Structure 1
Amino acid sequence: MKILMVCLGNICRSPLAHGVMQHLVDEEGLGWSIDSAGTGDWHVGEAPDRRSIAVAKKYGVDISTQRAQQFLSPFFASYDHIFVMDESNYRNVLSLTNDEKERSKVRMFLKEGIVPDPYYDANQFEPVYQMVEKRCRELIAELRGEA
């Protein structure tokens, strides 16, 4: 199974979701491939935000080697599931779809609400990490039947 996590710049939320999910699926021996991207191109090629790297490291998850990439329409063919962090990301990704099959791959990461962007508030990195880890565990349980 191939899963893509998407946020705005691919330096805070989606790298955390990418790293946590990959860490958890590796621990479970599931063999799934996890990646991340941003809807914008401002940070393409850059490492995740240092604060995302730090909070992930605190929990034994290394995201330091990830590099930001922009979400492009060919990604629909490469991934089984595309999880977005907020409504803006959802609209931006859906605007690139060509058909119902592509649209059906796109879902909000959280069942209810959004993952807040911690970029402008350093105090939000810890709560965002906790939110992401909890949801990644839930997603693994939900998606196991598809693998």
Structure 2
Amino acid sequence: MTQRILFVCLGNICRSPSAEGVVRVKAAQRGVNLNLDSAGTGGWHAGEPPYGPMQKAAKARGYDLSGLRAREVTEGDFGAFDLIVAMDADNMANLRRMQPEGGAEVRLFTDYAPEGSGWTEVPDPYYTRDFDGTLDHVEVCADGLLDALSR
């Protein structure tokens, strides 16, 4: 069965599209068939491509985010996906408020970080300006997620 995974951040222009793009590439390299998407808890950027500096940093590592477009998470996503992955505690709280009974499992992306990393969130580079640091987190968590799915 194909796993359906939705990555969620605040505006869907940095972290969640990066997670979608990185997991897409890493899953393909492992031969894992996934149905992936990303969304934001807010709709301010709906229809926009990922933030330019985030795209540039991702492209330098071999991840093309240019075809992605921002959208807002909907209640229907809880039935359309098996797993919804939040980038931080605020995103998680917003998702929990929307989550219907019996919907998709909701987890933090950092739940898939190595034990002892101390990571509790994927930093938002829109504010920190550390696009490479965010990608470091995303790549490590992506590997952890894919390892968990293969178990």
Normalising by structure 2, what TM-score? 0.90
Q: Secondary structure at the match of 2:146?
A: helix
Q: How many residues align?
A: 142
- Alignment root-mean-square deviation, CA: 1.0
Question: Is the counterpart of residue 133 in structure 1 residue 139 in structure 2?
Answer: yes
Residue 97 of structure 1 corresponds to: 99
Instruction: Kindly indicate whether the alpha-carbon contact (under 8 Å) linking 2:78 and 2:100 is maintained by their aligned counterparts in 1.
Output: no
Shift >6 Å, 4+ stretches: none
Identity %: 39
- 2 CA distance for matches of 1:28 and 1:63? 20
Question: Is the counterpart of residue 87 in structure 1 residue 89 in structure 2?
Answer: yes
Deviation digits for residues 13-49 of structure 1 (CA, Å, limit 9, x no counterpart): 0011010001111111211111100000000000000
The gaps in structure 1 that reach 5 residues or longer are none
The gaps in structure 2 that reach 5 residues or longer are 112-118
Q: CA deviation at 1:120?
A: 2.3
Amino acid corresponding to residue 22 of structure 1 in structure 2: R
Q: Secondary structure at the match of 2:127?
A: coil
Deviation digits for residues 94-119 of structure 1 (CA, Å, limit 9, x no counterpart): 111121x22x6101110240111110
Normalising by structure 1, what TM-score? 0.93
Question: Is the counterpart of residue 31 in structure 1 residue 37 in structure 2?
Answer: no
- 1 CA distance for matches of 2:15 and 2:67? 15
Deviation digits for residues 91-146 of structure 1 (CA, Å, limit 9, x no counterpart): 111111121x22x6101110240111110232x1001001100110011001113x
Residue 8 of structure 1 corresponds to: 10
